[in-house]
Amino acid sequence: MIHAYSCQDGRLTKIEPETARTRLDDAVWVDLEHPSSEEIAFIEQQTGLDIPVEADLAEIESSSRLSAEPGPEGQVLT
């Protein structure tokens, strides 16, 4: 299932699921919950991103999924 959100008046607003399955022009955030292969292909086509499958992610240790970089004024950005 695709959960997509747009930004309206400085707030995240959920895009209706029917719309999110066909158009993501206004989306600023997209979550995939147990996506089908068709949903993954759609998101990849819409965003240009290569979405890994859950099996690939399961092979990565959780500590390796995180990264940290020094930001302005010594802040840590993840």
Closest to 6 in 3D by CA, of 40, 30, 37, 34: 30
Structure confidence by residue, pLDDT tens digits, 5-64: 999 999 999 999 888 888 888 899 999 988 899 999 999 998 888 888 777 777 766 666
The answer to whether 1 and 32 have CB atoms below 8 angstroms apart is: yes
Q: So what's the pLDDT on residue 52?
A: 82
Those residues whose C-beta lies under 8 Å from the C-beta of residue 2, and which sit 6 or more positions away, are 17, 20, 21, 30, 31, 32, 35, 39, 42, 43
